[in-house]
């Protein structure tokens, strides 16, 4: 294993540890998201809050609203929300690596740049979920770049 890969793994683990070790991750609206997840998880149960009505529509930022209540069936709402936030951070790192591999066929600096963004203002103010959606679109662009490369090889 190359030194850069080992460094990315170690730095990635170190940058994800704050999310795992604290009660409230460093996200300004984390408690708002957590409260919304409690309302969504309790919808349709005897514990449902009578002051909230849950209505779904097709919005581009529904990933958390769809995934966390399903995860909360197996674990607590706090753990499910934390796992989703952790997954958003992991997607940023792996998305940067995937884009670099698709574009240059080698892994050099993209993961280090992605690691710098994990503790940035974007994640702190709750835009991390939007960043993870951008990362998912980067995986789509990677598959597009790879398909173009394969089409030229044929």
**pTM listed for this prediction:** 0.80
Number of domains in the chain: 1
- pLDDT given for residue 44 in this prediction: 84
Lowest mean pLDDT among 6-15, 42-51, 109-118, 128-137: 128-137
Domain that holds residue 125: 3-48+57-153
Residues 41-79 pLDDT 10s: 988 888 888 888 888 777 767 778 888 899 999 999 999
Helices 3-21 & 110-117 angle (0-180, nearest 10): 10
- pLDDT given for residue 150 in this prediction: 66
Find out whether 58 and 101 touch, Cβ atoms under 8 Å.
no
Phi, psi of 10 (to 5 degrees): -65, -45
């Amino acid at each position: 294993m190359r030194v850069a890969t080992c460094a990315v793994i170690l730095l990635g683990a170190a940058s994800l540890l704050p999310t795992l070790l604290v009660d409230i991750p460093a996200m300004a609206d984390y408690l708002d998201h957590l409260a919304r997840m409690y309302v969504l998880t309790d919808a349709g149960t005897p514990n449902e809050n009578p002051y909230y009505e849950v209505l779904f529509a097709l919005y581009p930022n529904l990933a958390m609203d769809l995934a966390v209540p399903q995860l909360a069936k197996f674990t607590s709402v706090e753990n499910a929300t934390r796992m989703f936030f952790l997954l958003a951070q992991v997607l940023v790192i792996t998305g940067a690596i995937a884009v670099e591999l698709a574009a240059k066929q080698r892994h050099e600096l993209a993961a280090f740049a992605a690691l710098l963004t994990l503790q940035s203002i974007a994640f702190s103010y709750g835009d991390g979920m939007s960043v993870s959606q951008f990362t998912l679109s980067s995986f789509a662009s990677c598959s597009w770049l790879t398909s173009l490369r394969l089409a030229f090889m044929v």
